[in-house]
Amino acid sequence: MAKNKEEFRADVDKVLDMIRGGLAMHGGNVEIVDVEPESGTVQVRFQGACIGCPMSEMTFKAGIEDTLLEMLPEVKTVVQVA
């Protein structure tokens, strides 16, 4: 059975919590903007020092996107929004 939006968001949030500690050490954070369980799409936005950081693209790709895709098979697409 497919997860509803709230369940999907909660699962994504649990995974992001594992990443947030490292971001916080550098004054940053990541928030969920929206989730679409039907398509498996997750939209996230950087906060704090992550905004404009030269490493933010690598952090997004290797940290956030790869981790979500690996740990939650129902995630198909991760989008970074401003």
44-63 tens-digit pLDDT: 999 999 998 999 999 999 99
Tell me the whole-structure pTM to 2 decimals: 0.93
CATH architecture, range 5-80:
2-Layer Sandwich (3.30)
1-47 tens-digit pLDDT: 678 999 999 999 999 999 999 999 999 999 999 999 999 999 999 99
What tokens appear for 68 in the block? 């979500």
Would you call 45 exposed, middle or buried from its count of C-beta atoms within 10 A (0-12, 13-18, 19+)?
Answer: middle
Q: Per residue in 1-37, is it b (16+ CB within 10 Å) or e — as a string? A: eeeeeeebbebbeebbeebbeebeeeebbbeeeebeb
Domain residue ranges of the chain, discontinuous segments joined by +:
5-80
Q: Tell me how far apart the alpha carbons of residues 74 and 55 are, in angstroms, rounded to a whole number.
A: 27
